[in-house]
Amino acid sequence: MSVTAMSALGEPCVLLKLGEVVLKGRNRELFESRLRSNIKAALKEFTVDIRQRHGVIALFLPQGTSVDVAEAVAQRVSEVPGLVRVNLAWRVAKTPEAVTEAAIELIKDRGEVARKASFAVRSRRRDKRFPLRSNELDRLVGGTINDTYGLPVDLSKPELTVYIEVDRDEVFVFTDGLPGQGGLPVGSSGRALVLMSGGIDSPVAAYRMMRRGLRVDFLHFSGIPFTTSESIYKAYALVRRLDRFQGKSRLWVVPFGKAQQSIRASGQDRLAVIAQRRLMLKTAEEVAHRIRAEALVTGDSLGQVSSQTLANITAQDHAVAMPILRPLIGLDKTEIMAEARRIGTLEISELPDEDCCTLLAPRTAETRAKIEDLKQIEKRLDAEELVVQLADSLQEYKLEGV
């Protein structure tokens, strides 16, 4: 962008539109404070001045900041849950002339495609001292754009929209921005522990819970010493990918191979998978108590595999007292894969690895496990003592740069 264009457009800044947070009534300030903290943490590599407006957070950048840096700030903050829209905007003087000049330059900067599109102008006048009302400003700017570029006006379904927001001290001018993640600020709903496999489902479940305000830790069960470390590397890569939504993520790993060997030796092949799942949940509950998490999260989807029938899910719930959250319970595989693709975890999940579940794959698995039968297996295994041993073997894998 030329110096002349920059001068006409003013100074770049980023406007963040809040979604569900604005509905929180008396608790709204707590959610907004958490959101501002999360934004500050996400933008620690940038110099920004965060200012709260009604339903909007404005990020002001140092004078002379390049458009490339402003775009990088907008892209990074679009990954922070709690925001529904992120707009790279231009701060201009509070005069109709400055607003009109900026709108003309903004369309010019968008290139030939923008200069052939149907358009609309949407103004919002928060400061009633501004000399023009919103509809008057729309007509002034829209008429000038039409005269300059000959673009057709379409107020119902425009291909390009120029937004103008008249605030107390300045006016913001911008076009369509980036979609946000929506939901609630991470940390506003407590802390949970995600049972993280190397598959497609659990990363999506983790993401969905982060969007509901939970800060999550990740627990991976490795088949070590009977498998390689491949699954750990894969879990690490998935956690690193998800970390951009919350920051400061922690990955915990439990070597589970010997426990699986003990379950196999129990001779209950059809119940082995559910017995393993219950032992994982019991161990996860113990770990959750130690790290002060308040719930467990799994990627279960009703009926997707034999361990996820209603009867088997009930048998698993019975293993622990802690709540088990299953955000994917009503989704099918196609829906889960689509979301995994969107958040960038699908490609990692599809990489081959030697998962601990491959150690315990009977020909046929029980679809209606009975809790009393599972309790008998756990009694022979001395499950309560085994859970403590497994939790004691817990290892933390720190993310580089986090």
Report phi then psi at 32, rounded to 5: -65, -40
Question: Is 221 known as a binding-site position?
Answer: yes
196 is in an annotated binding site: yes
Any binding-site annotation on 277? yes
* End-to-end Cα separation, the chain, in angstroms: 34
Q: How far is CA 33 from the centre of its chain?
A: 18
Q: Which residues contact 399 (CB under 8 A, 6 or more apart)?
A: 236, 239, 240, 243, 249, 250, 251
Q: Is 172 annotated as a binding residue?
A: no
Q: Which residue reads 């970390």 in tokens?
A: 243
| Sequence-ordered list of residues with C-beta below 8 angstroms from that of 185, at least 6 positions apart, any chain | 21, 31, 34, 35, 38, 80, 81, 82, 213
Q: Is 258 helix (H, G, I), strand (E, B) or coil?
A: helix
**Rounded Cα gap, residues 399 and 232, in angstroms:** 12
Helix axes 272-291, 371-381, angle to 10 degrees: 70
CA–CA gap between residue 153 and residue 95 (Å, rounded): 23
* Token pair belonging to 7: 């001068």
Integer CA distances (angstroms), 198 to 97, 201, 232, in order = 57, 9, 8
Binding residues for ATP: 195-196, 220-221, 277, 299, 308
Binding residues: 195-196, 220-221, 277, 299, 308
